[in-house]
Structure 1
Amino acid sequence: MQHTILILIMALFSLLTGLALYFWLNAHFNARYFYTTMLISWLLIALFPVMLIFSFFPQSSASGNIFGFSLAGAIAAFFVIWWYGTRSALAAQKIDVLEDKIRGLEEKQRDISHERRTPIVLQHCETFIYKLKHKRSKRIVLITGGIELVKVADIWVSSENTNMEMSRFYENSVSGVIRYYGAKKDQAGNVIDDTIARELSGAMGKDLYVQPGTVIITNAGDLQQTHNVKKLFHVAAVQGEVGTGYQPIRNIQLCVTKALQKADTEELRSLALKSILFPLLGTGTAKGDVKETARKLIEAAISYLETSEKSTIECVYFLMWTNVELEVCRGIVEEVERLAK
């Protein structure tokens, strides 16, 4: 009896060790000595049924031919299981590697297709809502259309350069749109008081430069009445260089983190700010990569909402100006396991 129990313990240990090695290998395709370890894992797995069967039925037998050799009894059963299991596992592994390569090529092809497609500006305001699984009251929302269509966010984020110079009224940028719609205008729509740019310039004082990621707050000007905006956050998201123009700052995700931190400061607590709207910072005139940038921005927002217990922000909006931006960003958020529709 004691002999049988010892064999059973050894059989169980052999099985668990073999399975542990096998699953570890599946998670580490490029592990050193992969094939050697795979053989060892199946040797250990093969020992389990052999020891189990022959501990209870010592008189049973199995026989067969392996590589021209005749084997019988426990040894035959062991080699049959080991040989078949190893061969099947290695074949499956090769299939997995090929499928992984195919997925990688397909993803590259999609990226190339996105880059070559002519973006179509979205004309309607539509939302795609994703809730944090562990904080269901917190949401990441993709909202389509130009920023002038949005009337649901307490805070608008304006992408500025490190000199905190807003775009001109008629430039094709979020900063320019915010500047125009926030300004006071006559009945013909002509600007008579450049409210937002003037306040931002006053906040800068004699400084000509701020550090990348810096956030400066201004009032919303006319946007408060027309678009329900309570505050504007100007973030230093792009950096200029003589002769080459503007480029996104290196750690563009800092803009999201610092803006959210600013929203939760004590000085703004009385405003009960619940939502904030980000454009895809650095992807406009600075021509940053949409997919790479969006992934960083969205991940920064999710991380902040997950880890900031006292945050009053419940909804982080990301503005999707074109169909390409929407497609890319939906692909990103739907891959995030911490989010649910």
Structure 2
Amino acid sequence: VPARPPVVRPGAAAPAGRITVRTCPIELVRDVDILVSSENTFLEMSKTFRSTVSGALRRAAALRDASGEIVDDVLARELGVWLRTHERPGVPVRPGTVVATSSGALAAQGVRRIHHAAIAAPVGNGERYHVTPAVLAEAVRASFELARQEAEFLALPMSSICFPLMGTGRGGLSVPTAARALLGALGRELRRDPSWSVLMVTPDEGHARLLMAASSAR
């Protein structure tokens, strides 16, 4: 099994009430309570060999045996339970819906929950997806609402959340458009409840610079 790259710790430097931007793959984030994954509206996660946010988190959260074989595909399994419980297998959910699962193996990195944001509606044969800025904003709102509910009803003391730059891959949104939608929605949530610290991550340095500039200008 290839050695995993070192885990970074961007969460510790994220102050409450602020949006912090880091250049980092989301699956390497440490000490942040909630990681948000972008999903299609069928809540079917990307394959573990894909380089998508969904695929990377699914791969990182899976439990493995001593040889590195996956023995529990935690995130996909728990999403499947949610879909069956809510009678949604094979049926799309409303765009912007957010569903929570445990963090599986990512608990070892200090991650408590994974929020699965259904933002991408398949188009045609599923090779492309449709994502709108309004759906990104709704997913941000729904994720914060779900986080507050879980903090109260599951007695989880959570105060930090990490979002990737969603909607820019096969979702088709330009990076500036997605950044404006996400930052605008995050700003509204932080004005409503400044006790949260927000981390935005992207593995692309150019995208990170754009996010930092847009965040500073707000």
> With structure 2 as the length reference, what TM-score do the two structures score?
0.86
Counterparts of 1:49-128 in structure 2 under 5 Å? 125=8
Q: Measured at CA, do residues 292 and 126 of structure 1 come closer, stay the same or move farther in structure 2, by a change above 3 Å?
A: farther
Counterparts of 1:186-201 in structure 2 under 5 Å? 186-201=65-80
Distance (Å, rounded) in 1 between the aligned partners of 2:9 and 2:30: 12
1:294 to 2:203 alignment: no
Preserved CA contact (<8 Å) 1:167 1:176: yes
Shift of 1:233: 0.6
Secondary structure at the counterpart of residue 183 of structure 2: helix
Q: Measured at CA, do residues 233 and 124 of structure 1 come closer, stay the same or move farther in structure 2, by a change above 3 Å?
A: closer
1:179 aligns with 58
Secondary structure at the counterpart of residue 20 of structure 2: strand
1:229 aligns with 111
Preserved CA contact (<8 Å) 1:127 1:144: no
Give 2:148's aligned amino acid.
Answer: D
Distance (Å, rounded) in 2 between the aligned partners of 1:215 and 1:280: 16
Which 4+ residue blocks in structure 1 deviate beyond 3 angstroms? 123-131
2:37 aligns with 158
1:66 aligns with none
Preserved CA contact (<8 Å) 2:10 2:29: no
Preserved CA contact (<8 Å) 1:246 1:285: yes
Q: Measured at CA, do residues 159 and 224 of structure 1 come closer, stay the same or move farther in structure 2, by a change above 3 Å?
A: same
Distance (Å, rounded) in 1 between the aligned partners of 2:192 and 2:75: 33
Q: CA RMSD in A?
A: 2.2
Distance (Å, rounded) in 2 between the aligned partners of 1:292 and 1:250: 7
Counterparts of 1:296-335 in structure 2 under 5 Å? 296-308=181-193, 313-335=195-217
Distance (Å, rounded) in 1 between the aligned partners of 2:8 and 2:170: 23
Shift of 1:152: 2.4
Secondary structure at the counterpart of residue 156 of structure 1: strand
Distance (Å, rounded) in 2 between the aligned partners of 1:187 and 1:127: 29
1:210 to 2:89 alignment: no
Pairing partner for 2:141 from 228, 253, 257: 257
Shift of 1:188: 2.6
For structure 1, which segment, 137-146 or 244-253, has the greater mean C-alpha deviation from structure 2 after superposition?
A: 244-253
Q: Could you list the per-position Cα deviations for residues 257-309 of structure 1 after superposition, in whole angstroms to 9, with x for gaps in the alignment?
A: 110111112x422211010010111112323211111111011111111123x
Preserved CA contact (<8 Å) 1:236 1:255: yes
Q: Whose Rg is larger?
A: 1
**Percent of counterpart pairs with the same letter?**
30
Q: Measured at CA, do residues 130 and 222 of structure 1 come closer, stay the same or move farther in structure 2, by a change above 3 Å?
A: closer
Preserved CA contact (<8 Å) 1:126 1:144: no
Shift of 1:150: 1.0
Aligned residues: 204
Distance (Å, rounded) in 2 between the aligned partners of 1:148 and 1:307: 28
Q: Measured at CA, do residues 194 and 303 of structure 1 come closer, stay the same or move farther in structure 2, by a change above 3 Å?
A: same
Shift of 1:126: 7.7
Gapped regions of structure 1 (runs ≥ 5): 1-122, 132-136, 337-341
Secondary structure at the counterpart of residue 206 of structure 2: helix
Counterparts of 1:126-141 in structure 2 under 5 Å? 137-141=16-20
For structure 1, which segment, 254-263 or 181-190, has the greater mean C-alpha deviation from structure 2 after superposition?
A: 181-190
Secondary structure at the counterpart of residue 306 of structure 1: helix
Q: Measured at CA, do residues 127 and 332 of structure 1 come closer, stay the same or move farther in structure 2, by a change above 3 Å?
A: farther
> With structure 1 as the length reference, what TM-score do the two structures score?
0.56
Preserved CA contact (<8 Å) 1:219 1:230: yes
Secondary structure at the counterpart of residue 71 of structure 2: strand
Distance (Å, rounded) in 2 between the aligned partners of 1:198 and 1:319: 26
Preserved CA contact (<8 Å) 1:124 1:144: no
Secondary structure at the counterpart of residue 181 of structure 1: helix
Q: Measured at CA, do residues 126 and 231 of structure 1 come closer, stay the same or move farther in structure 2, by a change above 3 Å?
A: closer
Q: Measured at CA, do residues 277 and 130 of structure 1 come closer, stay the same or move farther in structure 2, by a change above 3 Å?
A: closer
2:103 aligns with 220
